[in-house]
Structure 1
Amino acid sequence: MKLASFLFCLALCGIVHAAPASLIPMPAQLHLANGAFKLDSDTRIVIPPGDAAARAAAQYLADSLARTRGLHLVITEDTATRHAIAFLHERNAPVAQAEGYTLDVTPQAIRIDARDGAGLFYGAVTLWQLSTPDAQQGAVQLPALHISDWPRFAWRGLMLDSARHFQSATEVEQLLDQMAQHKLNVLHWHLTDDQGWRIQIKRYPQLTRIGAWRTPPDAGHDGEPLRYGGFYTQQQIREVVAYAAARHITIVPEIDMPGHAQAAVASYPEVGVTGKRPPVSVDWGVNPYLYNVDDATFRFIDNVLDEVMALFPSHYIHVGGDEAIKDQWKASPAIQAKLHALHLKDEDALQGWFIGRVGRYLTAHGRRLIGWDEILDGGVPPDATVMSWRGTDGAIKAAQLGHDVVMSPAPDLYLDSVQSQLPDEAAGRMPVRDLRNIYDFNPIPAALNASQSAHVLGAQANVWTEHMPSMQHVEHAVFPRLDALSEVVWSPATAHDWNGFLARLPAQFARYAEQQISYADSAFEPDIQLDANAALQSGHATVTLSNQAGYGAIRYTVDGSDPDAHAPLYAQPFAVTLPATIKAATFAADGSVIAATRTRMLDRASLLSRLGVALSNCSGSDFRLRVQPTPDATSMAPVYAINVFDACQSFPQAPLDGVTAIHVDVVRLERNYALAHDAKLVVSRPHRTPFGEFVVHRDRCDGPVLADLPLPDPARSNRRFALDGTLPVQHGEHTLCLIFTAPTDGALYAIGRVSLIAPPVAKSKP
């Protein structure tokens, strides 16, 4: 409290003392000294005459301080450095590593030294972080210190999927801004897939005239657009590439092949296997369309790559290579004849030949092929780099064979995985990959020896956007998990410190708020828990509060008011009498809010109900998604839990004493999932009415039927509807197995909330 008061006093005086605890990622070496430097509007930025790299870094710092601190610093080329920030671009700078720098803060001046432009830039990023320990404006006191810093890995990446859902060029640039602030240097841009072709290729205009647009399922109803899509013109791409380069970020484009090609085949059917034109896909998952393997198709691919290489100067060109199911190749006499003429043993080998041919074309043009780890299955060009996504086995195999690798395993670094199982978590895949999961990721597999480990270029997180229709979804998924990744790939392994990392996040959250970044507070969100059945029996509840990270001060109220810094501090479980409204929020040590207020109503009706997302899968399948009401819905809520393989959910320990009825809020969802060979795993159940039923079983999924409620005609009912039914008298607690028997060639159904209905308990007369 004394520290908070002291900081508050300094803030009123217009000067805040910045602590090194505001730095993410943590520098390789940091040593505090005595004294402080006052950064204010009179501070100048000094650069060597005619040094373009120093000027670029200085301009970035000046622009950043003006935008976030309200300080407008002048850049000069003189030699006077007193009360100035000096950028020195020197061949013999103290840190020899590429992208490294030193940063010295004394009471008299600040100095950044580096041997390359990237090092100067990252020194500027660190200095900007030191200058923004909070969201305040004006002067700031920087502690005297010395930093020597350099990255642990050369590849520090983020993959953005713009094919499934499209982001504007401006939104991509906003993401690049945040990557730069995290010292990440590779944006892997997924530009083509079954659901959309996003890059203008002037030689093939149909790729964007047709391939960039899809007709959503149930188009024009319930908020679904009549047409969905978009693409980047070549001029826009040049501008985005230049924007990234100014922030020392390389954009690696991905043009997926031989699979994930449906949008291309929809545009030019002759490059497909069958010659027939499919629609641009509306289905997530694994679609069957592959490129042909004839000379005309390779001319098409070469011509596309020519324009891609003209737009992207990156050394690497990503060619995908993943999830290419070979059914079309197996069924094509022409392709089978080609396979035998090439003396290849199978279709995997044919894919290896395909990728090899593309790799040779890239090599001939001074580029290098990179692809997902499936490129190893049929043989791979000797100089190819492998991006391991099917766990880490692909990376281990590739490194042992002498290939460079980038670690990007699922689910470890898949940011489309949900961050928690809390009721208000956004759409995404299971399993949960929380902040700690990302922070504890080790890019070097234990199976590799020292020489093999040298092939690990680094790591990247992937943002697949099937369930992220808007940039708000992307930002919620990425931040602050990207903070954790940045520290994994930049900071030395010896600097790994979970508690220290958490202590540095409040300053980062303030920066996000200042820059209007829609970050997630899931790691710190108060989880309000109690024994609902015991509370129903007694009329009292013992409430437990916690959060995922185990960090921060949770404060709460029981009267419905929003908790502030003066609300009771949670220290141990507390008792309340029903009905009650519990509200809780999490605060950092400086009093700032790091998790917004969450609310839980405690009354008889709420304790007798469960949200659909709080139910669990029935035994037999662990596949689970959180999805929105339509594939392209841009709102963050509502969200529904589904299992596309088995429409069965479990309500454990349902309190059935006195319960006489059930009310279910249901949503009908699109079954837009391409399951390929896994389609045989979908459970189909008999139904007695045309559109199926909602069936409630007791104890087991083949147990006694308590309710059997027909589903309405989809053509004559709203997407969201309610089902009501009576229940026979039951006693005690029982698991309820909740099943939709709808035909599996139609819609999916999900539960919004299931409520057990019990008449009010009559009060005895006095």
Structure 2
Amino acid sequence: MIRIFLALFVLLSNIAFSQNKLNLIPYPQKVETLKGEFTIPATLLLSHDLPKEETEYFRKRVESSLPLRYAQKGEIAHITNSIISPASAKDEQKKEYYLIEISPKQIHIKSYTRQGYFLALQTLIQLFEDHKTDKKLPAIKIEDQPRFAWRGMHLDVCRHFFTVDEVKQYIDYLAMYKLNTFHWHLTDDQGWRIEIKKYPKLTQIGSKRKESMIGAYVDNTFDGKPYGPYFYTQEQIKDVIKYAQQRHITVVPEIEMPGHALAALSAYPELACTQGPFESATKWGVFDDVFCPKEETFRFLENVLDEVIQLFPSQYIHIGGDECPKTRWKECAHCQDLIKKNNLKDEHGLQSYFIQRIEKYVNTKGRKIIGWDEILEGGLAPNAAVMSWTGVNGGIEAAKAKHFAVMTPGSYCYFDHYQGDPQSEPNAFGGFTPLDKVYSYNPVPSELTADQAKYILGVQANLWTEYILDFKQVQYMIFPRLMALSEAGWGTSDPKNYKEFENRVISQFKVLDKMGVNYAKSIYNISGKVVPSNGGIAYELSTSQNSSGIRYTLDGTTPTINSKAYQSPVSIPNSLTIKSAYFEDGQLKSAVSTQEFIVSKTTGKKITLEQQPSENYSFGGPFTLIDGIIGNTRQLGKTWLGFNGKDVVATIDFGQKTNFSEVYFNTLDNKGSWIHLAKSAKIFVSDDNKNFKLIKEIGKEEIQNAKGKIRLNVGTQNAKYLKVFIENAGIIPAGNPGADSKAWLFVDEIGVN
């Protein structure tokens, strides 16, 4: 009987523990509860044989609230460690394996390497932070190692520059949440940020620009202030690399080629296809002037790479390869001769020639290249790895060809996107990537077999800084999304248990507060979602807190604690403005959220699309086009659908024959982001969804004159189905950013009156 009771007690203890997870991010692979608890002593004693560099890092992180010292002769250490023979490791990821056993008397760590020991210390730091009030750690056994070998964060220092100290802080954030790769984006059109001793003009000229674009891109306004010179000396770069190595983080440098080269061409115009002169870009976007694939250019790039490789010990060197317009190459006699001489198919083949030549050189130095997925154009270089950003297809194609890939699709991993309601967030690049979406990402595409999946190195998030002016905003954009990335990369994220993860995130906020980190509090704010309701729409409100604290108004006034309490989705029967906010203990705890609705006869009806939007700009799916919300031309977040190279063919089912005389929709013009107005539009009606009659057609000139805000008088109509065909602009013409690439078509609400 006693044995049965004890067994039942242990079982119930384990169940209770599983229901009350430790506040750890990323969550470990395996946690086992033991009997008892470890009482944190007034002074924590460390074993003398602990790896010194990592232990000193640990001391600095915790000693402000927890005194530590090394045990003296005769004293029993509270924290001990043993390094298992590396020969015992069965695979590469064992390097990051660790085991922690917390008993009532001591904490013992086992690992194969000092890197594993360091990761164990990060887990301990989080445990100590979470239990510094009650001073008791549960007796547990944690056995842990990551699923993916590459868990990275990228930082663009070209659009806006960040100091060495700020870069070190960024690296510290990665270390805290067990990321192991820092991708340093050092060159671009807007600035060259790395000292190359053989080419001093790169930093003398290329590290500055005459002014910078400010505000939303569509505003086309500039600050008129010279920017720079800003760059890192080679000594500073060595310092950063050493700092990262102490935290077991690999620094991967990126030197952009053949595109995004204006800053380099401003210093050395002879490397272009035309004579120039050039200057570092003051706008954001993509530009036609790129490196010309001539011998002089290759010598230059090889010399640059020599110095880069000497500085950076990383296995991979990132060579960019993305967004390279072919306009200049098409017009360049040398490029056309090169295409003929090497029997290349076209300019895309020339891009492949360029990348393969660079790869061969990098390989002679004992290194490998990695590039954005455009390096697949014309054929992938033999040993190259792919960083898949335009979606998951680049990674899938690479893995199927037995090339390694890092997954970083913009729809999940671009942290320059909005993470909350764009109306209450700082200006961002666009898109909508909230915390739960990052957390839901599985880096292994379902299209891959088990053998192909082995070529997925891991996952990375990217932070482009066009709209990020200072380091406080860097912090805001990466936190708390970095935590979701961390757990997705570790392999323990579970979207079904997102709310439990969100609670662990909130528990981490006190650590960020202590550090003075300016993290986003978007999860506290009201999140609104339009849902179908009885042939119309309703507005569903939620927050990470108790939804009973939500108050709202329907007359446009600011909500107070005395406003109507939210209980269920709010019906939107007609055009109105809803404002909402979260209150706790009578106090306003969130930003006030505002949403205007313009209700028409299509609002909330059934809609189908013949072609689906890009994953980056697909929030809400087809329903976004009939949800009663007009898109904000300054914010490409939740309210637009984006189609890359595709037409929009939308069919709306009114449910019954309906009278109307006007059809409206909006299409966006933002050429710097490769977004072009529609080329044409046609309106059809039908009663059987099979036989459609054309009732209106407009061309490019009419759309341009209306600046994309289309209002069409279609005469008196009575139909059950409406079909709207909106034609994509096609291939972007020369003289525009992204020339020779597919244009984006952005559309928001399709309404009828």
Q: Same fold (TM over 0.5)?
A: yes
SS in 2 for 1:460: strand
Shift of 1:277: 2.0
SS in 2 for 1:231: coil
The CA distance in 2 between the partners of 1:428 and 1:210, in whole Å, is 28
Shift of 1:420: 3.1
Aligned ranges 1:431-446 → 2 under 5 Å:
431-446=431-446
Q: 1:598 pairs with 591, 600, 610, which one?
A: 591
- Name 1:140's counterpart in structure 2: 135
The answer to whether the 8 A contact 1:40-1:138 is kept is no
SS in 2 for 1:423: helix
Shift of 1:338: 2.1
2:96 counterpart of 1:99: yes
CA distance 1:324–1:601, shift in 2 (3 Å): closer
Deviations 1:362-420 (A, max 9, x none): 11111111111111212233211111112111111111111011111122211122123
2:186 counterpart of 1:191: yes
Which TM-score applies when normalising by structure 2?
Answer: 0.71
- Name 2:145's counterpart in structure 1: 150
2:28 counterpart of 1:34: no
- Name 2:223's counterpart in structure 1: 224
The CA distance in 2 between the partners of 1:641 and 1:493, in whole Å, is 30
The answer to whether the 8 A contact 1:414-1:461 is kept is yes
- Name 2:59's counterpart in structure 1: 62
Range moving further from structure 2, 413-422 or 502-511: 413-422
Deviations 1:459-483 (A, max 9, x none): 1111111222222222222111111
Deviations 1:624-672 (A, max 9, x none): 99xxxxxxxxxxxx994379999xxxxxxxxxxxxxxxxxxxxxxx989
The CA distance in 1 between the partners of 2:213 and 2:463, in whole Å, is 26
Which ranges in structure 2 are unaligned for 5 or more consecutive residues?
Answer: 1-19, 532-537, 572-576, 599-608, 618-631, 644-668, 681-698, 716-734, 737-753
- Name 1:313's counterpart in structure 2: 313
Shift of 1:25: 0.5
- Name 2:499's counterpart in structure 1: 499
The answer to whether the 8 A contact 1:408-1:462 is kept is yes
Shift of 1:181: 0.9
The CA distance in 2 between the partners of 1:31 and 1:363, in whole Å, is 45
2:288 counterpart of 1:293: no
- Name 1:110's counterpart in structure 2: 107
The CA distance in 2 between the partners of 1:484 and 1:314, in whole Å, is 25
- Name 2:23's counterpart in structure 1: 22
2:339 counterpart of 1:346: no
Shift of 1:171: 1.4
The CA distance in 2 between the partners of 1:480 and 1:219, in whole Å, is 26
Shift of 1:274: 0.9
The answer to whether the 8 A contact 1:320-1:371 is kept is yes
- Name 1:46's counterpart in structure 2: 47
Aligned ranges 1:237-316 → 2 under 5 Å:
237-316=237-316
Letter in 2 for 1:100: Y
The answer to whether the 8 A contact 1:219-1:226 is kept is no
CA distance 1:681–1:56, shift in 2 (3 Å): farther
Shift of 1:20: 4.8
SS in 1 for 2:96: coil
The answer to whether the 8 A contact 1:216-1:282 is kept is yes
The answer to whether the 8 A contact 2:97-2:116 is kept is yes
SS in 1 for 2:353: helix
The answer to whether the 8 A contact 2:156-2:464 is kept is yes
Across the two proteins, how many residue pairs are aligned to each other? Answer: 609
Shift of 1:341: 1.9
Shift of 1:194: 0.9
SS in 2 for 1:314: coil
The CA distance in 1 between the partners of 2:365 and 2:210, in whole Å, is 37
Which TM-score applies when normalising by structure 1?
Answer: 0.70
2:167 counterpart of 1:168: no
The CA distance in 2 between the partners of 1:218 and 1:109, in whole Å, is 57
The answer to whether the 8 A contact 2:417-2:429 is kept is yes
2:402 counterpart of 1:405: no
- Name 2:125's counterpart in structure 1: 128
SS in 1 for 2:397: helix
Shift of 1:44: 1.1
SS in 1 for 2:263: helix
- Name 1:73's counterpart in structure 2: 68
SS in 2 for 1:21: coil
CA distance 1:310–1:694, shift in 2 (3 Å): closer
SS in 2 for 1:411: helix
The CA distance in 2 between the partners of 1:644 and 1:444, in whole Å, is 25
Q: 2:80 pairs with 81, 86, 89, which one?
A: 86
Shift of 1:498: 1.9
CA distance 1:476–1:639, shift in 2 (3 Å): farther
Letter in 2 for 1:145: I
Shift of 1:133: 1.7
SS in 2 for 1:412: helix
The answer to whether the 8 A contact 2:424-2:593 is kept is no
Letter in 2 for 1:264: A
Shift of 1:492: 4.0
Give RMSD over aligned pairs. Answer: 4.4
- Name 1:464's counterpart in structure 2: 464
- Name 2:686's counterpart in structure 1: none
- Name 1:524's counterpart in structure 2: 524
Letter in 1 for 2:35: N
The CA distance in 2 between the partners of 1:122 and 1:568, in whole Å, is 48
The CA distance in 2 between the partners of 1:586 and 1:470, in whole Å, is 31
- Name 1:234's counterpart in structure 2: 234
Shift of 1:528: 7.8
Which ranges in structure 1 are unaligned for 5 or more consecutive residues?
Answer: 1-18, 532-542, 609-618, 626-637, 647-669, 705-744, 747-766
